[in-house]
A = this chain, B = another copy of it.
Amino acid sequence: MSLLVVGSVALDSVETPQTTRDDVLGGSAVFFSYAASYFGQVRLVGAVGEDWPAEHTELLKSRNIDTTGLQVVADGKTFRWRGKYAPNMNDRETLEVHLNVFGEFQPVLPESYRGCDYLFLANGPPAVQRSVLEQLPQAKLKVADTMDLWISTQHDELLDLLRRIDGLVMNDHEAKLLADDENLVRAGHTVRKMGPKFVVIKKGEHGAMFFSENETYVMPAFPTPQVVDPTGAGDSFAGGMMGYLASRGEITPKVLKESLAYGTIVASYNVEDFSLDRMRQIERPDVDRRLGEYRQMLSF
């Protein structure tokens, strides 16, 4: 499969009511690519500083993640984020953000990546996301994530991006903000009419919603009693979704729906431990087994 992700590569510090972990492997492109790697090869584009532990790159490579596009910036420092979760494990507060090399990141796709058909633009400034689109004009499926900051501060650039992509993945708060509507069903379709053929709204512990011209549906989260660290759940969801899509090679309503189910399942593993720790313990058969339980759960 030919799947490419452009996004952040980070060292996260995560505080939960039970535990704190400092400087663990994180970043949207990392969660995405690991989650997608259950389905085949993934090509990663990102930037880190000289403080980046080589073992993290080795881990990604061991999963068939191509890191040719991971720039190591001389004299630079890796993006760092520190966040604290509320007891409900859904709300979180950002305590520190040091963009470091990610702040100046101008993604350049290696020559060997230019034939990729499936592209995921993890959250980043819309103009930077657009510059990646322009480097991969023939991609078959272009999907982006975004965040509240760009909705508020780079609204026109974001609207321009929305007209150039096939799919948008965002969370419920962002969808309500962008559509200026508190009803998520209406908000999803309002955003869809801004350009993308489909919109996926992530609702955290409440699952995800899908909107296309002819379809509106909800997929609940897989109910896990063990929510240790939700960091990266949204990117793992997108990684599972895009990984499955790229592995299938066709984009039909049926395959899209299956891809949301796969995204849901991979994300449900991700939240069960810090960083990639839980995802590192599983393989594709585990994903398929839980998908089977999920399918059973939803049939009546």
Q: Which residues of A contact B (CB under 8 A)?
A: 87-89, 182-186, 189, 203, 205-207, 209, 216-221, 223-225, 227, 254, 257-258, 260-261, 295, 297-300
Which one, B207, B257, B295, contacts A220 given CB within 8 A? B207
**Residue pair A221, B218 in contact (C-beta under 8 Å):** yes
Closest Cβ of chain B: how far from A220's Cβ, in Å? Answer: 4
**Residue pair A223, B218 in contact (C-beta under 8 Å):** yes
What residues of chain B lie closer than 8 Å to A183, measured between beta carbons?
Answer: 89, 225, 227
Closest Cβ of chain B: how far from A204's Cβ, in Å? Answer: 10
**Residue pair A220, B223 in contact (C-beta under 8 Å):** no
Q: Tell me the bound Cα distance from A226 to B241 in angstroms.
A: 29
List 9 A-B residue pairs with CB atoms under 8 Å apart, sorted by A's residue number: A88-B182, A183-B225, A184-B205, A184-B223, A203-B206, A218-B221, A219-B220, A257-B300, A298-B300
Closest Cβ of chain B: how far from A256's Cβ, in Å? Answer: 9
**Residue pair B186, A225 in contact (C-beta under 8 Å):** yes
**Residue pair A182, B89 in contact (C-beta under 8 Å):** yes
**Residue pair B209, A216 in contact (C-beta under 8 Å):** no
**Residue pair B87, A182 in contact (C-beta under 8 Å):** yes
**Residue pair A216, B220 in contact (C-beta under 8 Å):** no
| Minimum CB distance partner of A86 in chain B | B182
Which one, B206, B220, B221, B299, contacts A299 given CB within 8 A? B299
**Residue pair A254, B300 in contact (C-beta under 8 Å):** yes
What residues of chain B lie closer than 8 Å to A185, measured between beta carbons?
Answer: 223-225
What residues of chain B lie closer than 8 Å to A206, measured between beta carbons?
Answer: 203, 206-207, 220
Beyond A206-B207, A218-B220, 7 additional pairs, beta carbon < 8 A: A87-B182, A88-B182, A189-B225, A218-B221, A257-B300, A260-B300, A299-B299
**Residue pair B217, A297 in contact (C-beta under 8 Å):** yes
What residues of chain B lie closer than 8 Å to A89, measured between beta carbons?
Answer: 182-183
| Minimum CB distance partner of A299 in chain B | B299
Q: Tell me the bound Cα distance from A203 to B185 in angstroms.
A: 16
What residues of chain B lie closer than 8 Å to A209, measured between beta carbons?
Answer: 223
* Interface core residue of A183, A258, A260, A261 (most chain B CB under 10 Å): A183
What residues of chain B lie closer than 8 Å to A87, measured between beta carbons?
Answer: 182
Closest Cβ of chain B: how far from A79's Cβ, in Å? Answer: 29
